[in-house]
Amino acid sequence: MKRIAVLTSGGDSPGMNAAARAVVRKSIYEGIEIFGINYGYAGMVAGDIFPLKVASVGDKIQRGGTFLYSARYPEFATSKGQLAGIKQLKKHEIEGVVVIGGDGSYHGAMRLTEHGFPAIGIPGTIDNDIPGTDYTVGFDTAVNIALDALDRLRDTATSHVRTFVVEVMGHGAGDIALWTGVASGADDIIIPEHNFNINKIVARVRAGHNRGKKHTLIVLAEGVMGAHEFAKKMKDAGYKSDLRVSVLGHIQRGGSPTVRDRVLASRFGAFAVELLKTGKGGLAVGIKNEKLVAADIIETLTNHKHKADLSLYELNHQLSI
């Protein structure tokens, strides 16, 4: 391929800029012309497509967000939207596209592939919920941000002898809650992949208080329910102690990416270009057991589901007695 494009789509994640930079720089290194597409699939359909140079991605590796902007664009789920996007790509003589994004973005890339247009997906989402990879770009930064918040909440929880229910993001996945929960020494982690018993949780927290425990932290994945609803359930189950709620929200998606996310993003970006260079499209790149992998994007999305590491759940249960 001689001319390719890159876009970021869906919820942004720290490290998307580093991934786009790697796509741009590796393309130029390989003698491939590289174009950017603003606002994800919305920009593709609107023809918001422009050439990128070496300097276009200077001073970007350390920045959060995405300089290519992002959008949620449900219209791309229709064949009409997909064909309109392909028409624009062909107008610019683009032969392949790198899509950096999460679940919805991957489905867009899969549809492009089904229409015969080579697309490669780079997993970029804080949720860590993409099949075909152990980690997504942005997850490490997001859990570090959430962990920092948990450490701060522990301080104030201790001072006031309070319980905090802390809601973290993750869409339908519990990975952010699991990793943050284990790393912060949370008393309990509530995730969509594991059921919970509110009476047992209340009994456990109460037992902690009776032992003289000053702080209680419960990390709740948003995919289960909202933190206010969970706190109400605790009260309804007879929990009478001082209880506060904290919803971390979009703060988890901003800021400078960690070293791990920058390196992962750089590796993914360069790898995607290597694949397109040899004419390979229709792939989802990922990292498995620390090795870069590429798998058929249609097969990956159709037959595989991301699985949370439930050994972390069990570990936390054992350590937070």
- Write down the least CB distance from residue 231 to ligand F6P, Å: 20
Which residues pair with residue 34 across a beta bridge? 4
| Cβ closest to ligand F6P, residue 83 vs residue 251 | 251
HEC profile for 213-239? CCCEEEEEECCCCCHHHHHHHHHHCCC
Q: Which of 95, 127, 167, 193 binds ligand F6P (CB under 6 A)?
A: 127
| Cβ closest to ligand F6P, residue 157 vs residue 190 | 190
- Write down the least CB distance from residue 240 to ligand F6P, Å: 32
Footprint on residues 279-318 left by ligand F6P (CB under 6 A) = none
Footprint on residues 20-59 left by ligand F6P (CB under 6 A) = none
For residues 249 and 34, give the distance between their C-alpha atoms in angstroms, rounded to a whole number.
34
Asked whether position 175 contacts ligand F6P by CB under 6 A, the answer is: no
Stretch that binds ligand F6P, among 169-177, 238-246, 275-283, 288-296 (CB under 6 A): 169-177
- Write down the least CB distance from residue 227 to ligand F6P, Å: 14
CA distances (Å), origin 79, targets 10, 74, 85, 86 = 19, 11, 10, 10
- Write down the least CB distance from residue 129 to ligand F6P, Å: 8
For residues 37 and 137, give the distance between their C-alpha atoms in angstroms, rounded to a whole number.
19
Stretch that binds ligand F6P, among 29-37, 124-132, 150-158, 230-238 (CB under 6 A): 124-132
Asked whether position 125 contacts ligand F6P by CB under 6 A, the answer is: yes
For 130, list phi and psi in degrees, rounded to 5.
-95, 130
Q: Which residues are catalytic?
A: 127
Footprint on residues 129-158 left by ligand F6P (CB under 6 A) = none
For residues 300 and 120, give the distance between their C-alpha atoms in angstroms, rounded to a whole number.
12
**Do 7 and 41 form a contact (C-beta atoms < 8 A)?**
yes
DSSP for residue 77: G
| Cβ closest to ligand F6P, residue 11 vs residue 96 | 11
Footprint on residues 70-99 left by ligand F6P (CB under 6 A) = 72
Stretch that binds ligand F6P, among 122-130, 203-211, 213-221, 291-299 (CB under 6 A): 122-130
- Write down the least CB distance from residue 171 to ligand F6P, Å: 4
- Write down the least CB distance from residue 318 to ligand F6P, Å: 28
Asked whether position 170 contacts ligand F6P by CB under 6 A, the answer is: yes
Closest by Cα among 31, 49, 51, 41 to 71: 41
The runs of H, that is alpha helices, within the chain are 16-29, 40-46, 79-91, 103-114, 139-160, 175-184, 198-210, 227-236, 259-277, 297-303, 310-319
For 269, list phi and psi in degrees, rounded to 5.
-60, -45
For residues 27 and 153, give the distance between their C-alpha atoms in angstroms, rounded to a whole number.
45
Asked whether position 11 contacts ligand F6P by CB under 6 A, the answer is: yes
- Using CB under 6 A, list all residues that contact ligand F6P: 11, 72, 102, 125-127, 169-171, 222, 253
